A and B are shown apart, each in its own frame.
Chain A
Amino acid sequence: MEGTIVGPSMAVGHRLREGRPPSPSRWDRADVVIVGGGIAGLAAARELAREFRGNVVLVELESDLGGNSSWGQATASAYPWGAHYVPLPGREAPEVVALFEELGVITGQDSSGRPIYREQYLCHDPHERLFLHGRWQEGLIPQLGVSADDRAEADRFLARMQTLRESTGTDGRPLFAIPVDRSSADPAWRGLDLETFSTWLDREGFRARPLRWYLDYCCRDDFGLGTSGVSAWAGLHYFAARGGEAANASSSTVVTWPHGNGWLVERLRERIRATVRRGCLVHAVREEGGRVRVEGMDAKTGEAVGWDAGRVILAVPQFIAARMLGEAGGGRGTGAVYPPWLVANLSVDRLPTGRGMEAAWDNVLYEGRGLGYVIANHQEVQSVVRESVLTYYLPLDHAAPTEARREASTWTWEQARDVVLADLRRAHPDIADVTRRMDIRIWGHGMICPVPGFLWSGRRTDWARPVGRIDFAHSDLSGMSLFEEAYIRGVEAGRRVLT
């Protein structure tokens, strides 16, 4: 088995902490500079491409665009390095519905106005399976060997979530929505942001171990920390905010591609009109005489580069934006938590064997260390798929984020590989035999995590407000790393430039 640890350019990024590199000798003029080529930056650039006639520069640190939605290509399939699906967008996210219509993800409407999705992009059945008691079962909620009482408790939880999904707050808005800021402001519910999800579950009498494992799994999956790390409001949001409609799919379905959300990155990239500068580290952004000076350096050569911009959109996480802005950054990013992640892509000669249910899109191990794996080429229509790529996700939540990040940054490829194999071997004794290659990415700052007290503290709103000619667009301004949040924030930032 071979492989490497690939990006992201942590070492380059850390130069921001050290002394400032020399100032550029030349300033290129640009009407708009977008810093950050993830979903938010791309969405902003695409919005500008509609009407804006000025020149736009998009600067990205990495060699590839996409941020958490970046992707890679193996012989068998494209594969994601991070985000890999989008739930069906609901009424509160018309921007995403419009995007899906434009990209042909939604192909029309049925007579009752429900969107018809392109079948190829809807997650193919079987969606999920869970390995417990030595066998694979269908679905992620533990069933095998689970007592009737414990199963009833899971049903009670799901019924409760269904009620919440259909409920509105005193202001008439849905209790939980995507994007987050379109949720009800009802204080009775927002107050739940101050306690942990596990506190709420204990109080509500949801204590069965199988159910609690499942809920913990879901929180780790979306936020990088378990039920005792995230706020109760965020935990409930995970279960009660999703549920867009479709004419040809149930509301729990998601859309996905072999590249994961990298497919969306590519579609957005095709639709922008901007000079894209990759491998460039922006280290300073400041307003000066009615213009904005953007200072950067080439990540490879160290050469200083600079832009003299009319407007700037910082589509980067707030802790990075704070460093770029220096003193003007104020307390930006304080209290925001980004747990580290490990993502591994395993090129396999054939799917590993296992007892019970056949392979699904998402394959999870009960009480496993990681979150299991997704089969990247699950959406292929060939009836017999042999070679494949398994994308394995592991939130490094065994220690506090800072400590776990420091530890993981010292791992060699062999150490990281063994962590992955040890976890998967329990379900697949032959995993090492079928794996030809394993590439690993350690995300030092993975996704923002909605820890208690963060979402409705008012800090997000402050940070999202434009400062002079500098605007902000990133999913961490929503407190959740979701495609919809990043995309809508990018679109809104783009629109603000146009007006």
Chain B
Amino acid sequence: MNERTTRLLLLASVFVIATCGLIYELIAGTLASYLLGDSVLQFSTVIGVYLFAMGVGSWLSGFVSRGEARLFVQVQFLIGLVGGGSAAALFVLFTQVNAFRPVLYGLIFLIGTLVGLEIPLLLRILKDRLEFKDLVARVFTFDYIGALLASLLFPLVLVPHLGLVRSSFLFGMLNVVVGILTARVLRLTGPWATATVSGGAVLFAVLLAGFVAADRFTSWSERNTYPDPIIHAFSSPYQRIVLTRGGGDLRLHLNGNLQFSSRDEYRYHESLVHPGLSRMTGAKRVLVLGGGDGLAVREVLKYPGVEQVQLVDLDPAMTRLFTGLPILTNLNFGALSSPKVRVENADAFTWLAAAGPEAKYDFVIVDFPDPSNFSLGKLYSTAFYRRLRTVLAPGGAVVIQCTSPLVARRAFWCIDGTLRETGFLTRPYHVYVPSFGEWGFILASTDPLPTELSLPDGLKFLSASTVRGLFEFPPDMDRVVVEVNRLNNQALVRYFEEDWAKVR
């Protein structure tokens, strides 16, 4: 290899590392604004910390007196590892740690410092091969062209087509390639050099594996399904669980359907629990079917008189998530870890059938996903409500989430009719939840319920007077006469599908 080629290759590496450097900065900035919201603040602080760290890196390069080439290769590998894995690591850590910002800025500082080391080292490697004025001119030309390329590639190609996690792995691989090539071009020899090259190859393979596996985390099509970035996605044997975060808003989606938005879920869960439970003075035992997010349980635990809460949710992945992840336990106040709460993962229908005669509950909360398919439709059938009656203590009550009475009016009143068919007295009500729209619930009991409410303190939405208003139905969502939902006709699923199809 002649001197000219060597020079050219080294300058080309300036171009590549400059692109990589800016990409990591953009990824960190984007991720921070995804996860923490307020993009101006996040981008400013990320850029500030990053540039400052680059300065620290440049300053540190002054302490290097020899072995610049070797150090340069090592730095490339480190950037490849840390920068390449940064997006994946931040996504994972965001859901796992309480203090996310120190982790974020720590990582940015580390990458910035390493990137800051690159150019000074490269200048010194090239210093004997070029005149000083040419050296500075060419290195910085390539540096800035690389930056331009990165800033165009990032929003136009990388984010829409590869996503953050795969983009960062891709650029990590480029850093490793630059490291390996530099070692070859500068003819670094000795046992160290051989070890470096093979180490680089292993690192490349790891990053490649990350790149491939990133598709398992979220697919391209899935990323386009949600308006907000996905911060956690997991397929349990029962469902696809996806958490998204846009600004300050944390959302849970099950099989693509929104379950809650952290901005207004209190409206939903206060309305689910309190209009019923607050009139059940002396309620000691509460059963929650579905509701593995623990948010309904959080509301139930506001009644000191409640001694035992039995939660039955099909999916262990859900209850594990809402027992263990800090960002989620912050939301449900660790309700699922309360000593009063017993969590069981079972199918609600079979659980009810197996429940012994001693299993009697004063208040039952039924918080299943909407009846969007035949499997779920069974959980709203006469057969199900007959079984439900058998676990109700004398004078007890049930509350059921019943989809939107405005959008799926027939579906809502079908559930009401099904409950009446099985001997329940019903008190339907509705509430406005911004992320859902107008939403419906039905309070059901075998005996008339007390009218006196004693609401717990500190509610954000409900008061005794707002509760009364919830039971009024304006004409556009008032009762319609529809069929009863039975296992053998699944009328509800059909109403639900037809009604929702009109607005989709």
Residues of A within 8 A of B (CB): 119-120, 122-126, 248-250, 253, 358, 381-386
Q: How far is the CA of A249 from the CA of B383 in the complex (A)?
A: 13
- Contact between chains at B373 and A119 (CB < 8 Å): no
Is B238 close to A, CB under 8 A? yes
Find chain A residues with CB under 8 A from B382 CB: 119, 248
- Contact between chains at A381 and B486 (CB < 8 Å): no
Q: What are the 4 closest A-B residue pairs judged by CB atoms, nearest first?
A: A125-B490, A122-B488, A381-B349, A383-B375
Closest B residue to A249 by beta carbon equals: B488
Given contacts A125-B374, A383-B347, A383-B375, contact A119 B383 (CB under 8 A): yes
Q: How far is the CA of A334 from the CA of B377 in the complex (A)?
A: 51
Closest A residue to B349 by beta carbon equals: A381
A345 to chain B, nearest CB (A): 23
- Contact between chains at B376 and A119 (CB < 8 Å): no
Is B219 close to A, CB under 8 A? no
Q: How far is the CA of A470 from the CA of B385 in the complex (A)?
A: 52
Closest B residue to A127 by beta carbon equals: B488
Is B381 close to A, CB under 8 A? yes
Q: How far is the CA of A248 from the CA of B314 in the complex (A)?
A: 29
Given contacts A124-B378, A125-B374, contact A381 B488 (CB under 8 A): no
Find chain B residues with CB under 8 A from A124 CB: 374, 378, 487-488, 490
Find chain B residues with CB under 8 A from A250 CB: 489
- Contact between chains at B383 and A253 (CB < 8 Å): no
Closest A residue to B239 by beta carbon equals: A384
Find chain B residues with CB under 8 A from A249 CB: 486, 488-489
Find chain A residues with CB under 8 A from B347 CB: 381-384
Find chain B residues with CB under 8 A from A126 CB: 374, 490
* Residue contacts A-B, CB under 8 angstroms, 13 given: A119-B383, A119-B486, A125-B374, A125-B487, A125-B488, A125-B490, A248-B486, A248-B488, A381-B353, A381-B383, A383-B349, A383-B375, A383-B376
Q: How far is the CA of A398 from the CA of B490 in the complex (A)?
A: 38
Find chain A residues with CB under 8 A from B486 CB: 119, 122, 125, 248-249
Find chain B residues with CB under 8 A from A386 CB: 237
Q: How far is the CA of A383 from the CA of B488 in the complex (A)?
A: 15
Find chain B residues with CB under 8 A from A125 CB: 374, 377, 486-490, 493
- Contact between chains at A383 and B237 (CB < 8 Å): no
B207 to chain A, nearest CB (A): 33
Is B22 close to A, CB under 8 A? no
- Contact between chains at A381 and B350 (CB < 8 Å): yes
Q: How far is the CA of A132 from the CA of B237 in the complex (A)?
A: 30
Q: Which of B360-378 contact A (CB under 8 A)?
A: 373-378
Interface residues contributed by chain B, number (CB under 8 Å): 25
Given contacts A122-B487, A249-B488, contact A358 B373 (CB under 8 A): yes
Apart from A119-B381, A253-B488, A383-B347, list 5 A-B contacts with CB within 8 A. A119-B488, A123-B488, A125-B493, A126-B490, A383-B349
- Contact between chains at B488 and A384 (CB < 8 Å): no
Q: How far is the CA of A384 from the CA of B346 in the complex (A)?
A: 11
Find chain A residues with CB under 8 A from B375 CB: 383-385
A375 to chain B, nearest CB (A): 12
- Contact between chains at B487 and A358 (CB < 8 Å): no
Closest A residue to B348 by beta carbon equals: A383
B16 to chain A, nearest CB (A): 44
Q: Which of B114-147 contact A (CB under 8 A)?
A: none
Q: Which of B376-412 contact A (CB under 8 A)?
A: 376-379, 381-384
Find chain B residues with CB under 8 A from A123 CB: 488
Interface string of B231-255 (1 = CB under 8 A from A): 0000001100000000000000000
Closest A residue to B369 by beta carbon equals: A383
Find chain B residues with CB under 8 A from A122 CB: 486-488
A252 to chain B, nearest CB (A): 11
Interface string of B477-503 (1 = CB under 8 A from A): 000000000111110010000000000
Q: How far is the CA of A124 from the CA of B378 in the complex (A)?
A: 9
Q: How far is the CA of A120 from the CA of B377 in the complex (A)?
A: 14
B410 to chain A, nearest CB (A): 16
Find chain B residues with CB under 8 A from A384 CB: 237-238, 314, 347, 375
- Contact between chains at A120 and B487 (CB < 8 Å): yes
- Contact between chains at A358 and B238 (CB < 8 Å): no
Find chain A residues with CB under 8 A from B489 CB: 125, 249-250
Q: How far is the CA of A300 from the CA of B393 in the complex (A)?
A: 57
Find chain B residues with CB under 8 A from A381 CB: 347, 349-350, 353, 378, 383-384, 487
- Contact between chains at A358 and B488 (CB < 8 Å): no
Q: How far is the CA of A383 from the CA of B370 in the complex (A)?
A: 13
Find chain A residues with CB under 8 A from B377 CB: 125
B502 to chain A, nearest CB (A): 19
Q: Which of B293-329 contact A (CB under 8 A)?
A: 314
A377 to chain B, nearest CB (A): 12
Closest B residue to A248 by beta carbon equals: B486
Q: How far is the CA of A253 from the CA of B348 in the complex (A)?
A: 26
Closest A residue to B493 by beta carbon equals: A125
Closest B residue to A125 by beta carbon equals: B490
Closest B residue to A126 by beta carbon equals: B374
Find chain A residues with CB under 8 A from B374 CB: 124-126, 358
- Contact between chains at B383 and A382 (CB < 8 Å): no
Which of the listed residues B314, B353, B374 has the most CB atoms from chain A within 10 Å of its own CB?
A: B374
Closest A residue to B368 by beta carbon equals: A383
- Contact between chains at A382 and B381 (CB < 8 Å): no
Q: How far is the CA of A251 from the CA of B348 in the complex (A)?
A: 30
Closest A residue to B382 by beta carbon equals: A119
Closest A residue to B421 by beta carbon equals: A248
Which of the listed residues A381, A384, A385 has the most CB atoms from chain B within 10 Å of its own CB?
A: A381
Q: How far is the CA of A382 from the CA of B347 in the complex (A)?
A: 6
Q: How far is the CA of A125 from the CA of B375 in the complex (A)?
A: 10
Q: How far is the CA of A122 from the CA of B489 in the complex (A)?
A: 9
- Contact between chains at B314 and A383 (CB < 8 Å): yes
B423 to chain A, nearest CB (A): 14
Q: How far is the CA of A126 from the CA of B493 in the complex (A)?
A: 10
Closest B residue to A384 by beta carbon equals: B238
- Contact between chains at B378 and A383 (CB < 8 Å): yes
Q: How far is the CA of A145 from the CA of B105 in the complex (A)?
A: 60
Q: How far is the CA of A250 from the CA of B381 in the complex (A)?
A: 16
Find chain A residues with CB under 8 A from B487 CB: 119-120, 122, 124-125, 381
